[in-house]
Structure formats: structure tokens, C-alpha cells
Chains A and B, each alone.
Chain A
């Protein structure tokens, strides 16, 4: 590059300035993100201190009037709903992934894959609305009001399905072709090759997809509020109403004060930790799947 001294100096200056701007942008981003974690922790800490971690996690009453805050009902609500969704969505999702990776003719795949992608984009309130109008009345026929863990699980199943399908399909496709061809050459049927060779090889990737889906299920808020009934009870059957951790935050935050405020942030901390654990294990799974 030629140029006068002046031009060269300007170039050098531009280089430095832009570098500074980039550094400022990124430092701001990282500080904001760190701040979110720190802030939630700071506001939640008093609740852990005052109530005690064990008491907070295992307490079965959440009563604002009595100033008693235990989140076991919400933990159970979230866990049951998530497990229910996984029981339905994992077999369905993995089967659908096998279908897309191995079974479906090219044209069918070109229809199913965009359909699955579209499912990801539909706003969660739309799922909630369809759940309210279609799923809840159906479950109401089985008994109760219909606002229930079962309804919430069904709605969540559809919501996490795309994640499980796309991650599983990717990891099934990532298994080298000659694995399968070796099995076929030995006389295995395509299904035997899939079940005994390809799926075991893709296992960690599929698990990573399931864990990501779990993360999405636990984090879902509005769609759950719309179909789960939100009463603070220890759920005793799939038809029983319940409340999730996230739902509790959304419903009470705006009117919270005092210890309730701290207890809500402490709930946020618990969610935070939960998701961190899930994501870390998904990360480990993915890495293991790659090697």
C-alpha cells in the first residue's frame, strides 16, 4: 500500500480507533451480561439467608400473607411438566429424525423439514392459545377443569419437538456412512443397522438435543401460564393443576414486595443454576459426540 505519510498515519489512526470502538462494544456486552447474573444473585441472596436454602427448596407453602416462602410445589410443577413433555417428545422426535435422515424420500423431506422449522418460529403465546382452546377442553372431559399438568405437557411437547428433531437428525447424519454400510454388508436390515450401529454412535448428540429441549421446556413461561391453572399445590396426578417456577415469577413479580421480592429473585437464581447445569452437560455431550 502506497500513500503519503499523512494517509498512512490516518490509516493507522483509523485502525486504532476502530479497535477501541470494538473493544468498548464487547466490554459493554460482557459487562451487561455479567451484571444480569450478579444482579439476580444479589437480590435473591437475602431470601436464601433469611429462609435458608433447604427450607426454601423443600418448603411446601408459598403464602404471601403469612410471609412463608417454599418453592417445592413450583419445582415439582416444572419437573412434572418437563418430564411429561420429554416422555412424549423424545420417542416422537427421534423417530421423526430417523425418518428425515434415512427413511423419507427427498420430496417428502422437503415438506417435513420446513414444517418443523416453522414450528420453532411460532410464538409461544400462540401455542398457549391453541392449548387453551383445543387441548384444555379435551382434557377437561377426563375430569377436572382441564387446566392441568397433562395439558401443559402436551403443549410443551409440540414446542420442544423441533429442537429434538433437528439436533438428532444432525447427529444421525454425522455418523460416517461406512458404519451403516458395514452393518448392511453383514446382512443386517436397515432398521438393525439404525438401531444397533447408527443410533448408538449418535447417542451423545441426541442426548444433547434432548437436554436443549429440556432447557426450553423449563424456561417456557407464558404458554404454561395459559394452560396449567397456576394454583400453588403439590400436584398429585397428571390432571391436577400446578404452577411452574417461571410462571410464578411472571405472575407475582409486578406486585412483589419485601421478602416475597427476594424469594422471587431466589427462584430466578435456582432457574439460572438449573439451566447452567443443563447447558454444560449438553455442551459436554456435544463435544463427546464430535470425537
Chain B
């Protein structure tokens, strides 16, 4: 029996609907499951105490929360200036030759390299060779290397999207190259650059593999960036795999998802805000 084109059409569209429904259902299932099972364990004590009792999995997430903040700030402090600087260089100063395209290709390629390979590097160089041992510093530097390609690429693209005529107008008024970059190109590229930084924050919050081999994972409250520590994601991993405290792991998952939602909405709000402003201006 051969189906008429009309019935094929109906079936095909129905399958596409089904695919859309499955995607949403998967999300609802994951988030619903984590929230329903995890939200009950969250109270003030969970947020305000550190894990204790070794493998018993008691206590809260305070030290992991502090560790996450440390890691995010450290990563931004290192990768932010370096990455934005390199982005400015590639967009504004670099000549169009084979070397520049090689560098661009290299950056692009490194953006896809598995994070655990960065972890190898961080462990061998920072933890072992430079004697930084397992610490927030080792983890932060490793993570900075990991997000560096993304920041370079995104900020370069943001600057390239600024129309050429802006630069020409500024240069024609007698501004120097740097004045043009700082007062004309950068302000117009800000939303793109901020997006790059927010992406880096999101990545730092969710990343686990490269921190697992560089940060140590101590549950104690970190006292400096040389302390052994853990982030929330790492804390979840330890809870699930070593402590087997699933309720606490799910509660940590709730906090993690909530953080990511906040970061996502911040990105979206920011880009629509700037879009509106740019359109209002022109």
C-alpha cells in the first residue's frame, strides 16, 4: 500500500510535533525531577553551613558556594583581560595574513577540546610542576585557559560587527587608533563582550571535569586562593558518587539550575536592553 502525499504530510508533521513535545518533556522531566526531590532539603541551614561529617553527607553547601564564587572571580580576572585584549587585537590590529588565520583556527579548535584535556595540563603544570598543589588557584587558572578561546572569539566577533563607517568617521575627525577603539568601537561592542563574559561565568559554574583534577575537593571553608576547595558542581559530584547522599545532591542540583537560569536570563535581558538602546540611537 502506498500512502497518498497528503497522509505522508500529516504523519511527517505529526512526528515533528512529537519531537518538539519530547524536547520540552525531557526538560520538564529533568528539572521537575530535580526540583521535586531536591527542594525539600533546602533550608537556611543548608545554605549557611558547610558540609561536615566526612562521608555521611551532612551539613550544607556554604563552602562549595564560596568556592564557586572564588573560582568565577578568579577565572574572570584572568581570562577577561587576556581574552578581550586578544579579541581587540584580532579585530582591530592584526593584519590579514596566514599567521592571523592560523591563530584564529587554533583558537577555534581549542574551543572544542574536552575540558579534561585542559585538566591534564592544569594538573601537570600547575599542581605538580609549579607546586601550587590542589588549590582554587590551580583550578581557576585551568578554567581560565578553558574559557579563553570562547572569550577571544566572542569579543572579536562583537567588535567586527561594529560598522566600518564608525571607525572611519572617528579617524577622519583626527582621533588616534586607540581613541577610536576606546570611544567608538568598544562602547558599540559592549553587549557582545558582556555576553562573552557571562558565558564564561556560566561555564565556570557548570564545569566539573577540569576542576576535579586540579582543585582538590576539600569540603572545608576556603581561607585563600591557595586553599584546597570545591565548587557546587564538584560538590554535587562528590555527594552523588562518594558520599551517596542523593537528597543533598539533588538539592545542590536545584541551586545549580537556579543559578544557570538567572545567568541565562541576565544574558537575554542584557542583549535585548542593548538592542533597544542601539535601535533608539540610530
- Chain A interface residues (CB < 8 Å from chain B): 1, 11-12, 14-15, 18-19, 21-26, 28-30, 32-37, 39-40, 43, 91-93, 95-96, 98-100, 102-104, 108, 111-112, 115-119, 121-130, 132-134, 158, 161, 165, 188-192, 194-195, 212, 215, 218-222, 225-226, 246, 249-250, 253-254, 264-265, 268, 271-272, 275-276, 278-280, 283
Contacts of B241 in A (CB 8 A): 225-226
By the criterion CB–CB under 8 Å, are B115 and A126 in contact?
no
By the criterion CB–CB under 8 Å, are B23 and A111 in contact?
no
Contacts of B276 in A (CB 8 A): none
CB contact between B116 and one of A122, A165, A249 (< 8 Å): that residue: A249
> Which residues of B105-123 are within 8 A (CB) of A?
106-110, 112-121, 123
By the criterion CB–CB under 8 Å, are A130 and B33 in contact?
yes
Contacts of B174 in A (CB 8 A): 1
By the criterion CB–CB under 8 Å, are B23 and A115 in contact?
yes
How many residues of B sit at the interface, in one of the four size bands? 35 or more
Docked CA distance A33–B9 (Å): 50
> Which residues of B252-273 are within 8 A (CB) of A?
253, 256-257, 260-261, 263-264
Q: B278: CB under 8 A from chain A?
A: no
By the criterion CB–CB under 8 Å, are B205 and A123 in contact?
yes
Contacts of A189 in B (CB 8 A): 5-6, 8-9
Distance in Å: Cβ of B255 to nearest Cβ of chain A: 10
Docked CA distance A264–B257 (Å): 33
Contacts of B29 in A (CB 8 A): 134
By the criterion CB–CB under 8 Å, are A112 and B9 in contact?
no
Contacts of A133 in B (CB 8 A): 33, 37, 246, 250
The verdict on A121 contacting B16 (CB below 8 Å), with A92-B22, A268-B117 known, is no
Q: In the complex, identify which listed stretch (B49-57, B69-77, B81-89, B188-196) lies at the interface while the others stay far away.
A: B81-89
Distance in Å: Cβ of A128 to nearest Cβ of chain B: 7
By the criterion CB–CB under 8 Å, are B114 and A125 in contact?
no
Docked CA distance A1–B137 (Å): 46
By the criterion CB–CB under 8 Å, are B237 and A254 in contact?
no
By the criterion CB–CB under 8 Å, are A250 and B23 in contact?
no
Docked CA distance A187–B71 (Å): 59
Q: B169: CB under 8 A from chain A?
A: no
Distance in Å: Cβ of B108 to nearest Cβ of chain A: 7
By the criterion CB–CB under 8 Å, are B233 and A103 in contact?
no
Q: Looking across the interface, which residue of chain B has its beta carbon closest to that of A246?
A: B116
Distance in Å: Cβ of B80 to nearest Cβ of chain A: 10
Total A-B residue contacts, Cβ distance less than 8 Å? 273
Docked CA distance A112–B16 (Å): 13
Docked CA distance A93–B23 (Å): 9
Contacts of A161 in B (CB 8 A): 23, 26
By the criterion CB–CB under 8 Å, are A119 and B27 in contact?
yes
CB contact between B176 and one of A12, A122, A158, A268 (< 8 Å): that residue: A12
Contacts of A122 in B (CB 8 A): 30-31, 206, 256-257, 260
Q: B103: CB under 8 A from chain A?
A: yes
Q: Looking across the interface, which residue of chain A has its beta carbon closest to that of B5?
A: A189
By the criterion CB–CB under 8 Å, are A117 and B148 in contact?
no
Docked CA distance A195–B15 (Å): 13
Q: B60: CB under 8 A from chain A?
A: no
Q: B249: CB under 8 A from chain A?
A: yes
Contacts of A28 in B (CB 8 A): 82
Contacts of A123 in B (CB 8 A): 205-208, 233, 236, 256-257, 260
Q: B221: CB under 8 A from chain A?
A: no
The verdict on A218 contacting B114 (CB below 8 Å), with A25-B85, A121-B206, A129-B249 known, is yes
Docked CA distance A34–B110 (Å): 9
Contacts of A29 in B (CB 8 A): 82-83, 85-86, 148, 152
Q: Looking across the interface, which residue of chain A has its beta carbon closest to that of B207?
A: A123
By the criterion CB–CB under 8 Å, are A111 and B118 in contact?
no
Contacts of A127 in B (CB 8 A): 30
The verdict on A23 contacting B93 (CB below 8 Å), with A33-B148, A124-B208 known, is yes
15 contacts between A and B (CB under 8 A): A14-B176, A25-B88, A26-B86, A39-B121, A39-B125, A92-B22, A116-B23, A119-B27, A125-B237, A125-B240, A127-B30, A219-B116, A246-B114, A249-B117, A265-B124
Docked CA distance A195–B246 (Å): 46
By the criterion CB–CB under 8 Å, are A253 and B119 in contact?
yes
Distance in Å: Cβ of B277 to nearest Cβ of chain A: 23
CB contact between B177 and one of A15, A111, A115, A272 (< 8 Å): that residue: A15
Q: Looking across the interface, which residue of chain A has its beta carbon closest to that of B22?
A: A92
Contacts of A32 in B (CB 8 A): 82, 145, 148
By the criterion CB–CB under 8 Å, are B145 and A26 in contact?
no
Docked CA distance A43–B124 (Å): 9
Distance in Å: Cβ of A90 to nearest Cβ of chain B: 11
Contacts of B37 in A (CB 8 A): 133
CB contact between A1 and one of B18, B124, B145, B175 (< 8 Å): that residue: B175
By the criterion CB–CB under 8 Å, are A222 and B178 in contact?
no
The verdict on A33 contacting B149 (CB below 8 Å), with A124-B206, A130-B33, A215-B112 known, is yes
Q: B19: CB under 8 A from chain A?
A: yes
Docked CA distance A253–B31 (Å): 32
The verdict on A125 contacting B110 (CB below 8 Å), with A29-B86, A99-B19, A161-B23 known, is no
